Amino acid sequence: MELSELPALEVCCRVAAPPRKVWALVSDITRVGDWGGECVCAEWIDGADGPVVGARFCGRQIRQGQQWTSVSVVSEAEPGVSFAWAVGDPQYASATWRYQLAADGSGGTILRYRAVLGPGPSGLSDAIAQAPEHEDSIIAFRLNEHERNMAATLQAIKQAAEQE
């Protein structure tokens, strides 16, 4: 697999809460630290104060003892349906992330969480540049990390939605 192929993954779970309630959680970027994973906190910037297309936020990530910040731009914000953002330049994002929500027919929500890596520059592209002969295994390792973090994130969101 190559980064130019825009590797992607998706995880999914059922939440015993209605889509609008779940959407309120996933679109509240100030709660990202509650969900676990690499991004430990985020805040709206440039005067933004909520999830609308074009709003920007800054996130702080921690991974393997390294810390960094990134700026993301909201690309979808449809209450009860979807919330998505591009990391970095939306036209050449280092990654895009998306929550997709659907009613499950019994008052709950099917929550999908999708990530697409690339095509823009990132720590992943830097690692590949240092060892291009290992691109496939570098990408596979990172996808596995993301999958674990994304599954844990969904479980934390599920727990919050079902308890609040």
As a whole number, mean pLDDT of residues 102-109 equals: 96
Q: Is 11 contained in some domain?
A: yes
Packing angle of the helix pair 135-163, 123-130 (nearest 10 deg): 160
Q: Is 143 contained in some domain?
A: yes
Q: Is 50 contained in some domain?
A: no
Q: So what's the pLDDT on residue 1?
A: 86
Which residues span the domain enclosing 131?
A: 3-28+78-163
Q: Is 58 contained in some domain?
A: no
pLDDT in tens, 29-66: 999 999 988 999 999 999 999 999 999 999 999 999 99
Contact 138, 130 (CB under 8 A): no
Cis omega (within 30 of 0) for bond into 119? yes
Q: Is 100 contained in some domain?
A: yes
Number of domains in the chain: 1
Here the tokens at position 62 are 């921690």
Contact 94, 72 (CB under 8 A): no
CB neighbour list of residue 103: distance below 8 Å, 6 or more residues apart = 18, 19, 109, 110
As a whole number, mean pLDDT of residues 70-84 equals: 98
Q: So what's the pLDDT on residue 89?
A: 96
As a whole number, mean pLDDT of residues 79-89 equals: 98
Q: Is 151 contained in some domain?
A: yes
In this prediction, what percent of the chain has a pLDDT beyond 70?
100
Average pLDDT, the chain: 96
Q: Is 90 contained in some domain?
A: yes
User: What CATH number has the domain bearing residue 12?
Assistant: 3.30.530.20
What is the distance between the alpha carbons of residues 117 and 135, in angstroms, rounded to a whole number? 13
Q: Is 131 contained in some domain?
A: yes
